[in-house]
Structure 1
Amino acid sequence: MDNSEEQPRRIPRQTRSRFNFSYPNPEPKSLNTELSRNNDRELRRTTRFQNRQAHIIIDKNGDLIFNVSQLLRSHEGATRNYDVQTAKLELDETEGTVATNIKGHVHLTKVVQDVLVQGKFEADSMLNCVRCLNDFATHIEFELQDIYRPSIDIITGLPLKSEDGFDDEKLVIDENHLLDLGEALRQQILVSLPLYPHCGEDCPGLYSELERVNNEDAEVEEYTPAPIDVRWSALKNLRLEE
């Protein structure tokens, strides 16, 4: 007789496996938590993209374009000085007004996060005389003083919101920290041109042309009445007085 007791059957322990579909699933995460994490990931991704974009330098050159990235990184009150000279600047496309031989000196100053632009300039332009209607060349001298606002933060690369009270949206520093002086010069030249341009104090105006026309002997043709149709000859006998 076998005295050994019957051993209980051992059930193997359930292990974790990707093929073990009976393993209990973890508790589902809250929907708000998932949305918050997705928003955070999207914000970090957008920030990294904008920071990379801020360092992309676009090939934009010109006599009136200046890179002010180092000035924006400097302390408040830092300055830069440049000599400015350009051959031509379109003032008004509809009227075809053009300024030429523009030259001067510009002084840039960092004020808080903006750039103060100051300078003295001179330029030439062709105008139309309001007296004699002839074109004439004029020379003007003017001063420039404007505020330029950066479009992105120099440190983070994030876009900056335009503050209320900033009148001209064209006077901005672009995403590559380039300051275009052309718009400020165009506006200042237009307001510096004379309101009623005339070629000189001794301009005779249109009187000289009128005098020339009046002195010319105009050929006057002798008036010859047209012949009367015989069919209307009976109307001569009418007495309108009666």
Structure 2
Amino acid sequence: MNDTDLLEELVELARLAGEEIMQIYAKDFAVDYKNDNSPVTDADLAANCVITAGLKRLTPEIPILSEESADISWQERQSWQRYWLVDPIDGTKEFIKKNGEFTVNIALIEHGNPTMGVVYAPALKTCYLAAKSIGAFRECDEARIELKVTRKSKQGKVKVVGSRSHPSPELEDYLAQFDDVEMVPKGSSLKLCLVAEGEADIYPRLGPTSEWDTGAGHAVAEIAGATVTHIDGSPLKYNQKESFLNPYFVVSRLES
């Protein structure tokens, strides 16, 4: 299957998962908590079933790492050169608050780098999709627009996208380098996508995230032309260590 067809299949899969999510979103639902105290709902589990079953059908040869099925040993994972990275619902806290800012995330990781990704926000009916060989796009109301980041000077007003659920006390120190800052609050992996479409200039994440939170949005932002790096400017990579936690990172369209 070529990249164009595979990307379209991923979009369809994300939409199917979104339908399952929205059926539960419309009702009262129970919230459970995992060992790390992060919330999980029936919608997370239902979407996970849809996505993993679909990926196994599309690419049975490619392993899958999902937030809801992450009990795969490092000994097994470290040999993976190509795998799917899935977060059935990124922004479960936004889902529980019913503010619409949650997403379905599916990314293809190759040699530690995201090369294809879909971020679908079912409540907003907006989809971001990207493949290294094709480009990055935003789809809303059946209109698909290509995303191409234009570089912006650090001088003047800088739009900084931040988390609704995870404000970081270190962020203020980081932002002191800019003369004029406008904060743009947003939940889930939509933060990375805002930089990709030029609605924000920079997203500094100085707080905890896991690899499945960022893989798909990383693909969209980077393929659109933004940079996604550690604080020191080195590339953000995946499946390079036993822990799933990301280091602090920055997504930016600002000139270096």
Superposition TM-score, scaled by structure 1 size: 0.24
- Structure with greater proportional helix content: 2
Superposition TM-score, scaled by structure 2 size: 0.23
The higher-RCO structure (CA 8 Å, 6+ apart) is 2
The structure with the larger Rg is 1
